[in-house]
Structure 1
């Protein structure tokens, strides 16, 4: 694991993640941890002091690059299955099909 919130250079005023109650001082106690192999995906880590989160903690935001595997997954086309629905108009075939579906569902639930 690697601490990414200290990885990017920031002015001291932007590093604080917790306001000491009753003072204007801040400490950096909230961190972003990331597995070593994913650290190259982190673009930026910063705090937003002006965000109203109703807490003495400051909002910490991480910007990441998009993972290539997810991009590839979105581009894949779904395969279409063609079915002859005319056969389902026959009551005997429809009942046989319904029973097969029910049996496979019961096996999956068992």
Structure 2
């Protein structure tokens, strides 16, 4: 509007500075290796919420990236049963069976006879 009521001293600035706060944002680390060398395992990545350079709470949980997922690698090799297999002396195969270590390569070899037995 033109006129004396709109003098330059009363004119509002066309530009002004404002303070922009840093946004909350999810960041993910690279995926770690699969927990298994063959068969199905899990892989993990670290997922953190950042505001600027600080780790905080406040990111939208509905858009949080996945932190773990299944990884299905090549099938694990299967060996034909060896009827002459004997457990290695000095290896606690009873304990290995109780804590489910027969899938671990060391105990599957060291406790080959015990690990082949049917579950009680």
Instruction: State TM-score, norm by structure 1.
Output: 0.24
Instruction: State TM-score, norm by structure 2.
Output: 0.23
Richer in helix (by share): 1
